[in-house]
Amino acid sequence: MYIQSDDYNVIADTILRQEIRPHDLMVLLVAESDALDAEALIERLNKAEVPFIGGVFPGVIHNSKLYKQGVVAKKLQAIAPPVIMSGLNTPGYNWPDLKTVLSGPAKPVTAWIMIDGLMSNIAHFLSGLYDRLGDQVNFIGGGAGSLSLKQQPCLLTPDGLFQDAAVIAFLDYDTHLGVKHGWKRLAGPIVATRTSQNVIYELNWEEAFSVYKNYIEKDCGCSITKDNFFEVAKGYPFGIYKSNAEEVVRDPIAVNNEGGLVCVGEVPENTVLNIMKGTADNLITSAAEAVEETLSRSQTTQAMVRHTMVVDCVSRALFLEDRHEEELEQINKRIKAVRSEVSPQGMLSLGEISSYGEGYLEFFNKTIVIGSLY
């Protein structure tokens, strides 16, 4: 359900008109808007005892459209109350006992994760999550936050608005995933010889910005500075090598005072990187491939698709600009062809979360993750 309003009363009233049954959980994907009073929305939902979690994103997706306003409210079935983890910016934060969450009868479980996308230790958190849940759970989700790239409270929970936090809904669905980005190798390999969390300080034992600049300026034909870095770099992300799969993309978004490149997501020291380049056609094609991947798997099961979740990186939308809708149309058309009553819904994210198919849990950038829930 998409609610095209910034008025919390309208949004709340619309949600409250839904029939909420036991085990139902409202997952709210909220488009970033100054007009929306998120605290008041939380208060109204709490008052009505509606179980919910939510995140604020640069945009939300409903069918083939991208909306910069309003809320996608998805009523999904949960097997357990959602887990809210805050204070993730402090070292040695505590983990809840996730074993008890999954202590019910053995059946497929999907973990829908929304995380503060501007935290510097997201991969570390996801590594800890995978350590506790393994591949018994399908993971899908993305980073919440503002397009301004200024960190602020962006996760809605019954306990309030949070930043440096993550919310996880354990959903009673099996999920088939498609993960693609369509970025191709331009140059490399380059070794990230000195890094700290999400900042690359050195590439090939030299200042990261200088090395990166040398590579990029040859291709883009323009001069890259700290000021225009975001605009230029959005077309030249890093790719981390991964066997039998596309590279994991890391998006450099800024240059710090030491010439370090600030990325969305960690880059471990000694990681071998490539500089990637994208074209609109490649990216749109990759979205089509991702949806095919999730549906090709679905054809092997007897079950019907009940929901399709789309986690599309905001930088893809920025890169594709007017053609972004083509990407969404590709997905919508293909899903509708399989099951017309299913509306692909999702958000523009600051980083995407998924395993590549059924492997290790990853945090991606500039990627589209599509999950078909059965």
Which residue, 87 or 189, is less far from another protein as judged by CB?
A: 189
Minimum CB separation of residue 231 from another protein in Å reads: 29
Which residue, 210 or 270, is less far from another protein as judged by CB?
A: 270
Residue 197 lies near another protein (rule: CB under 8 A): no
Out of 245, 303, 304, 337, the only residue in the binding site for another protein (CB under 8 A) is: 245
Out of 244, 299, 300, 302, the only residue in the binding site for another protein (CB under 8 A) is: 244
Minimum CB separation of residue 101 from another protein in Å reads: 12
Minimum CB separation of residue 282 from another protein in Å reads: 17
Which residue, 245 or 304, is less far from another protein as judged by CB?
A: 245
Which residue, 56 or 211, is less far from another protein as judged by CB?
A: 211
Number of residues that bind another protein (CB under 8 A): 30
Single out the segment in contact with another protein by CB under 8 A; choices: 79-87, 139-147, 242-250, 315-323.
242-250
Out of 90, 94, 100, 243, the only residue in the binding site for another protein (CB under 8 A) is: 243
Place of tokens 């059965």: 374
3-state secondary structure at position 224: coil
What sections of the chain are H helices per DSSP? 8-16, 38-47, 98-101, 122-133, 208-220, 229-233, 280-298, 314-320, 324-338
Residue 94 lies near another protein (rule: CB under 8 A): no
Place of tokens 């596309």: 246
Residue 4 burial (CB count, 10 A): 14
Instruction: Return d(Cα 241, Cα 247) in angstroms, integer.
Output: 5
Tokens (6 digits) for 308: 């399709």
DSSP per-residue string spanning 319-351: HHGGGHHHHHHHHHHHHHHH-TTPPEEEEEESS
Minimum CB separation of residue 200 from another protein in Å reads: 14
Instruction: Return d(Cα 42, Cα 23) in angstroms, integer.
Output: 19
Residue 207: burial class (beta carbons within 10 Å; 0-12, 13-18, 19+): middle
Minimum CB separation of residue 88 from another protein in Å reads: 18
Interface pattern 261-300 for another protein (x via CB under 8 A): -------x-xxx----------------------------
Which residue, 34 or 97, is less far from another protein as judged by CB?
A: 97
Minimum CB separation of residue 131 from another protein in Å reads: 4
110 forms bridges with which residues in the sheet? 138, 171
Which residue, 155 or 361, is less far from another protein as judged by CB?
A: 361
Phi, psi of 42, rounded to the nearest 5 degrees? -60, -45
Q: Write out the binding residues for another protein, residues 116-145 only, by CB under 8 A.
A: 127, 130-136
Single out the segment in contact with another protein by CB under 8 A; choices: 57-65, 76-84, 311-319, 356-364.
356-364
Number of H helices, E strands in the chain: 9, 25
Minimum CB separation of residue 179 from another protein in Å reads: 11
Minimum CB separation of residue 266 from another protein in Å reads: 11
Which residue, 57 or 139, is less far from another protein as judged by CB?
A: 139
Which residue, 159 or 358, is less far from another protein as judged by CB?
A: 358
Residue 148: burial class (beta carbons within 10 Å; 0-12, 13-18, 19+): exposed
The closest alpha carbon to 254, from 286, 278, 228, 290, belongs to 228
Minimum CB separation of residue 130 from another protein in Å reads: 5
Q: Is the dihedral of CA 255, 260, 261, 265 positive or negative?
A: negative
Q: CB under 8 Å to 210, separation ≥6 — which residues? A: 259
Which residues are at the interface with another protein (CB under 8 A)?
A: 99, 127, 130-136, 185, 189, 191, 240-245, 248, 268, 270-272, 355-360, 362
